[in-house]
Structure 1
Amino acid sequence: MGERVERVDEHDEVLGVVDRGEAIRHGWLHRVATIVCRDTGGRILVHRRPEDASRFPGHLNWMLGGAVGVAESYEDAAARELAEELGVLDRPRFLFKFLCAGAISPYWLGLHEVVVTGPVRPDPSEVARYGWVSEGELDEVVRHRAFVPDAREAFHRYRARPFG
């Protein structure tokens, strides 16, 4: 049995517990928590996914994250993913969520943000390389053909939100 997630509806209400792979295969909605990391100067972390990653190998992304587990909140999942993928122990701030069509399958994407004040220790199975870029530089990176499509959609929504 693979990773267990909550299958949800178009209102993000829980319908049941399923295997994440099954949710993806059938196009069932589930939840994903993502984190945008900024440094104290406001720059944003951008990373390249490993070449052997199962999804979007070698692609660029400005978010870290993963599936929200059973009975786990978006916020708890974001904190867990931040610790697992970047070695940072902090509580990211929830910004918004949206129903993402997804390049592989649809899901609810919860976007969080955190200011990283200490060193990072990326998990090489998740982050092949990383760097910090300004918002202007990120505008350019997002247009790169090897940018994760769902991350591009999240970026445009992030930039268009009325509160920031």
Structure 2
Amino acid sequence: MALDEVVALYDADGEVCGAAPRSVVRADNLRHAASSVVVRDGVGRVYVHRRTTTKDVYPGLLDLAAGGVVLAGEDPADGAVREVDEELGVHGVPLEPCGVQDYADEVTRYRAFRFVVTWGGPIRWQPEEVSWGEWVTVAELVRRLDKTPQDLVPDSVAVWGPLVRSWLDAPA
């Protein structure tokens, strides 16, 4: 990750309305876009990973999605492909779009472009962003959402929670 990438800014209607350096986006909590990719395996488990303690947003928390800011001029789907490869080494497989979801809190405001990917290869962590990870069943992930939500990245819980819960009754 470049320290001061230029990030696409998005308006309330979900349209690109400008660009700003990442440092400004973070400092002023500007509305932007981000990719959010849930990685599943062939039996339907979900890969969860611990964010490093040096992350600029939600350091040290458990995340159920890989992803990051959409860069200026970047298509959100291309950003998703880039981010899931950088963070977890997932590449060369199609991402399935799962719609968009807006999120805002006192730390970040963005439009999440959500994707799911099925991956059967090895996971390779980006050391600057991921400290460890594991495959968990959907039932285990939902248990964590219910019992220890404070341990999970709040934006991923918000934008993915309802869909993840719907997977409990769905075939893999």
TM-score scaled to structure 2, two decimals?
Answer: 0.86
TM-score scaled to structure 1, two decimals?
Answer: 0.90
User: Residues 10-159 of structure 1: matches in 2 within 5 Å?
Assistant: 10-89=12-91, 90-143=93-146, 144=148, 145-159=150-164
- TM-superposed CA distance for 1:22, in Å, is 1.2
CA contact (8 A) 1:75 1:93 kept: no
CA contact (8 A) 1:103 1:150 kept: no
Instruction: Please give the secondary structure, in 1, of the residue aligned with 2:130.
Output: coil
Instruction: Please give the secondary structure, in 2, of the residue aligned with 1:76.
Output: helix
Instruction: Please give the secondary structure, in 2, of the residue aligned with 1:80.
Output: helix
| Letter paired with 2:163 | Y
- Unpaired segments of 5 or more residues in structure 2? none
CA contact (8 A) 1:34 1:112 kept: yes
Count of residue pairs the alignment pairs up: 162
CA-to-aligned-CA distance 1:5-48 (integer Å, 9 cap, x gap): 11111111121121122123223211000100001111000111
Answer with 90-99 or 68-77: which moved more.
Answer: 90-99
Distance 1:73 1:102, change over 3 A: farther
Structure 1 or 2: more helix by fraction: 2
CA contact (8 A) 1:6 1:18 kept: yes
Using the alignment, how far apart are the partners of 2:74 and 2:53 within structure 1? 30
- TM-superposed CA distance for 1:160, in Å, is 6.8
CA-to-aligned-CA distance 1:47-90 (integer Å, 9 cap, x gap): 11123333222211100000111111111000000111111213
Alignment RMSD:
1.8
Using the alignment, how far apart are the partners of 2:49 and 2:139 within structure 1? 16
Between the two proteins, what is the percent identity of the paired residues?
30
Answer with 65-74 or 14-23: which moved more.
Answer: 14-23
